[in-house]
A and B are shown apart, each in its own frame.
Chain A
Amino acid sequence: MLIQYILVLFTIAVLLLFLRKRGTTKSAASVKLAFMLFVVFGIYAVLRPGDVTVVAGWLGVGRGTDLLLYALVVVFTFTTLNAYLRFKELELRYARLARAIALRQAEPPVSAGQGPGAERS
């Protein structure tokens, strides 16, 4: 089927892109391994969709497509949460950076001799 060729080519392209872009960074090796396994599974599932249905049958899910959908929901939830936490952490770093700038440019009051605390700065 044509769709099989398209999906396999696309998956291989994604894998190559991932390995080339991220290969140099120190991103966790386990993530890379998991991703490779995922890609291999993806290609296998495309070529032999019947087998996924068999696995789905073992797990008590009707069709292979349903199994993929459920797995996708779980992965998506995990990814969303992970992104949220990362975003929060980034926000904190950003706040600390902004704070450092703010403290550097602090302005003590100029009204010397006016208020009770004018002799301090």
Chain B
Amino acid sequence: MTDWSEVWLVVPVYNEGQVIEDVVRHARQTFPNIVCVDDGSRDNSADGIRAGGAHLVQHPVNLGQGAAIQTGIEYARRQPGAEYFVTFDADGQHRVEDVLSMLERLRSEPLDIIVGTRFHGDTAHIPWIKRVVLKTVVMLSRRTRKLGLTDAHNGLRVFNRTVAEQMNITLNGMGHASEIVEMIDHRKWRVAEEPVTILYTEYSMAKGQSLINGVNILFDTMLKSKAH
């Protein structure tokens, strides 16, 4: 079995008390290092994270998913021996198998970051409304098309130390996915996509991003001040 001790899973957590312990436990069967960022949850998420055996970083107040991912990356990149970083969802919709194949690719190919995509082969399992929203987002973003990305809002990403060191997410909310695409472009990270399967469980569907949120993302991205 391969040793994955140089890999860090970064999991943003917000009110996932129902599932987080199982998600962490399951991922820990493969990956020893997991940092969960509890983004000011009002439920027992923190207990689940402790019980699952992950590192726990707690935001004192709720800041948003983008901020939580940034915190997790900052925590992980200061750990000795951390070489590879994975952003992984807390609701159990990402598969460890996909992470493994992405890691293999990142190690063997000259790449800095690999983003998961749902749009390869059969997409019938994706709810149609999600398909329409996600396709529209990609269509509207010239940058995403330029980089050849088909699913910029996929939460599953694997990247190396270079990317982790330079990562600087400033949009606290859901706009961070577009922001990461922007960083890929500006900082010339070598990017590729990997087909992944998203497990659309009833639980994850109930929590997923809505159409309305797409409007927020567009607005935030357009008005992002250049001052940073």
Give the interface of A toward B (CB within 8 A). 81, 84-85, 88-89, 91-92, 94-95, 98-99, 101-103, 105-111, 114-118, 120
Interface residues of B in 53-87 (CB under 8 A from A): 53-61, 63-64, 67, 70-71, 74-75, 79-81
Is B170 touching A92 in the complex (CB atoms < 8 A)?
A: yes
Chain B, interface residues (CB within 8 Å), range: 20 to 34
> Which residues on A sit within 8 Å (CB–CB) of B227?
89
Within 8 A of A (CB), among B157-196: 170, 172
In chain A, what residue has the closest Cβ to B170?
A92
Highest count of chain A CB atoms <10 Å: which of B5, B32, B70, B75 = B32
Q: Which residues of B contact A84 (CB under 8 A)?
A: 223
Verify A91–B71 contact, CB threshold 8 A.
no
B33, CB-defined interface residue at 8 Å = yes
Which partner residue on chain A sits nearest B169 by CB separation?
A95
Contacts A106-B55, A114-B53; is A98 near B61 (CB within 8 Å)?
yes
B28 CB-CB contact with A under 8 Å:
yes
When distances are taken between beta carbons in the complex, the residues of chain A under 8 Å from B35 are 106
Knowing A89-B225, A92-B172 touch, does A108 contact B57 (C-beta < 8 A)?
Answer: no
Taking A88-B225, A89-B227, A95-B67 as contacts, is the C-beta distance between A109 and B53 under 8 angstroms? Answer: yes
B55 touching A108, Cβ below 8 Å: yes
User: Within the complex, what minimum Cβ distance (angstroms) separates A31 from chain B?
Assistant: 18
**B225/A117 in contact, CB under 8 A:** no
Cβ contact within 8 Å between B56 and A107: yes
Instruction: Assess the B54–A98 pair: CB atoms within 8 A.
Output: no
Contact assessment for B28 and A107 in the assembled complex, using a CB-CB cutoff below 8 Å: no
Instruction: Tell me the chain B residues, 129-182 only, with Cβ under 8 Å from chain A.
Output: 170, 172
Given known A-B contacts A88-B223, A120-B79, A115 and B58 have beta carbons under 8 A apart: no
Tell me, in angstroms, the Cα distance from A84 to B35 when the chains sit together: 33
CB within 8 A of B63: which of A81, A98, A111, A116?
A98
Would you call A115 and B53 a contact (CB within 8 A)?
A: yes
Residues of B within 8 Å of A111, CB to CB, are 53
The yes or no answer to B228 lying at the interface (CB within 8 A) is yes
- Is there contact, CB below 8 Å, between B28 and A116? yes
Residue among A94, A98, A107, A114 with max Cβ neighbours from chain B (10 Å):
A98
Query: Which residues of chain B come closer than 8 Å to A106, judged between CB atoms?
Result: 35, 55-57, 75
Nearest CB of chain B from residue A37's CB, rounded to whole Å: 27
- In the complex where A107-B55, A109-B50, A109-B54 touch, is A120 in contact with B32 (Cβ < 8 A)? yes
Q: Are A103 and B71 in contact (CB under 8 A)?
A: yes
- Bound together, the chains give a CA A105 to CA B58 distance in angstroms of 8
